[in-house]
Structure 1
């Protein structure tokens, strides 16, 4: 009998944890697998850890790892994958936006040997804000244009993987992690199951529009050098235009020596434009350097306070 490890990042999900466990257990009873849970408490400030410990006392197959503080969902995903020993590993959200009903189908597809991973993607974002949905759609369009690593639009972190693929993902100990990109970058044959958006079973999401925007920017920086390439081309264009402008000023001065008294406003505008572009792309370069800085410091991706 194959073993299945279920990795579940949790942050302030005290209401969702027991509901998730009950719904998932109901599905697992129909599957020919030896299942275990790895619930990762990402520094929750509510009673999430207490709820997890209750499940552990009830079922020894429920394991948990509690961080010393909030390190973020990506760190929780990495910790779960690193500790999960199953032949197959499935990554799920605890809020039941990842339907447990898909688990048997995912397992069957992997057992067929045709695929190395089975993921899920939403075909709509019904129930979410229009602005957030718009930004999400634009993110997938942008990153797939500027990156060689294809990110499937609407793809969730919800996926079941073979041991081989999990080991490949763990071979990338990056400090700045963007799992959707990593899952695509390592390759392997992946099948996607489509479904309509499911709202949270309880609680409120911690993913604000601003946090999603920063996460998207990290994804673009992690898997594309397009911003740096763009800065080079804009810099080159500005340099050429500056040379043309300089020649024009010199010629005009020679033709009409008194003309230089005019045009101070346009000169200031050009200086502000060039200065703004310089500051913008110094910031872009600084973002990449910052990622290098964090990586070379070799700090741990997460710190465990307690585990069982």
Structure 2
């Protein structure tokens, strides 16, 4: 078998509405490259008709490969599953919602070959299609994570990127769970370039990243790449100790000079303040202890139930609902 030049990894979760639009735009771009390619569509345990739609398109598009996870594992885990199974000399990761334009893939490849780099990041130079809340929170996220972790991740670069085989192999060897790829890849330090594009509105369907998932991603990013929160807890402790010493000295002096003022308000404020700081520090410590606990368990982050490369296509769409196990112990 001739080597594959490009693999496109597309994580999918309940994206039946947007899949036809994605195929209509992605396939012409890849066909026009004039190089061998494959599209690894990772169905992240969808509960709608995504599996059936993928099955239909795979009969008409030989380069479309379906990888179906047993259960919803999350966006980052689905991308990792696609990277693990990719075979191309170059690998692109792109979401299915068409907010990141497939046409930019050619620019990424040209930039990688011209500048001889291993990674090309897709950078959102125009985010006017996003809400003001989304733009401001995203900007704050990148500033915060970049400042406390010391990573050189490009701002406004999500999970739309091109990676060389060496980069993908390096990512696949990392043992950590709950990885955040938009920070993992920059920390590898491989030569990189950037390609700007305008972020479009979602073509169809609804966003799979509500506020709760965005907060979880932020916590995973901070605790996975920086010791700053632990140091912050230490400084809180030192600051609290200093304040306690000052209050003790004030209380002793007031007692000596006979200038004590009875009352419970100040006592309540001090106790509540110190209690809040203690709980905050315990929460920060708990996040790190939890990550260590999960890592020590070494549980697989995802389970693959079906891979069309390793088994013939199902005889009908219903077969995809309960695929035969092929490799159940994959982990990122």
Per the shorter chain, which TM-score range?
over 0.9
Answer yes or no: is the 8 Å Cα contact 2:177–2:294 preserved in 1.
Answer: yes
Alignment of 1:18-167 (within 5 A): 18-112=20-114, 114-167=116-169
Task: Tell me, yes or no, if the aligned pair for 1:40 and 1:76 is still in contact at 8 Å.
Answer: yes
Q: How does 1:111-260 map to 2 (within 5 A)?
A: 111-112=113-114, 114-256=116-258, 259-260=259-260
TM-score, normalised with respect to structure 2: 0.88
Give the CA deviation at 1:20: 1.2
CA deviation after TM superposition for structure 1 residue 234, in Å:
1.5
Aligned-pair CA distance for 1:132: 2.0
Change (3 A) 1:44 1:285: same
Deviation at 1:58, TM superposition (A): 2.0
What is the distance in 1 between the residues matched to 2:146 and 2:22?
33
SS at match of 1:100: coil
Supply the distance in 1 between the matched residues of 2:60 and 2:175 (Cα, whole angstroms): 34
Task: Report deviation, 1:113.
Answer: 5.6
Residues paired across the two proteins, number:
306
Task: Report which stretch shifted further, 209-218 or 159-168.
Answer: 209-218
CA distance in 2, matches of 1:261, 1:59: 82
Q: Could you tell me how far apart the structure 1 residues matched to 2:251 and 2:113 are?
A: 73
Q: Could you tell which deviates more after superposition, 23-32 or 64-73?
A: 23-32
Root-mean-square deviation (CA), in Å? Answer: 1.5
Greater displacement, 133-142 / 104-113: 104-113
Deviation at 1:179, TM superposition (A): 0.7
SS of 1:112's equivalent in the other structure is helix
| Structure 1 Cα separation of the partners of residues 110 and 260 of structure 2 | 78
1:213 Cα deviation after fit: 2.2
1:296 aligned partner: 296
TM-score of the superposed pair, with normalisation by structure 1: 0.95
Q: CA deviation at 1:261?
A: 5.5
What residue number does 2:9 align with?
7
Q: Alpha-carbon deviation of 1:260?
A: 4.1
Give, in angstroms, the shift of residue 109 of structure 1. Answer: 2.3
Unpaired segments ≥5 residues, structure 1 = none
Which segment is superposed worse, 214-223 or 280-289? 214-223
Please give the alpha-carbon distance, in whole angstroms, between the structure 2 residues aligned to 1:117 and 1:127.
26
Within 2, Cα distance between the matches of 1:223 and 1:159? 20
- Residues 118, 192 of structure 2: 8 Å contact kept: yes
Following the alignment from structure 2 to structure 1, what is the Cα–Cα distance between the partners of residues 294 and 4? 39
After TM superposition, the structure 1 stretch with the greater mean CA deviation from structure 2, 170-179 or 56-65, is: 56-65
Q: Is the 8 A contact 2:104 2:197 kept in 1?
A: no
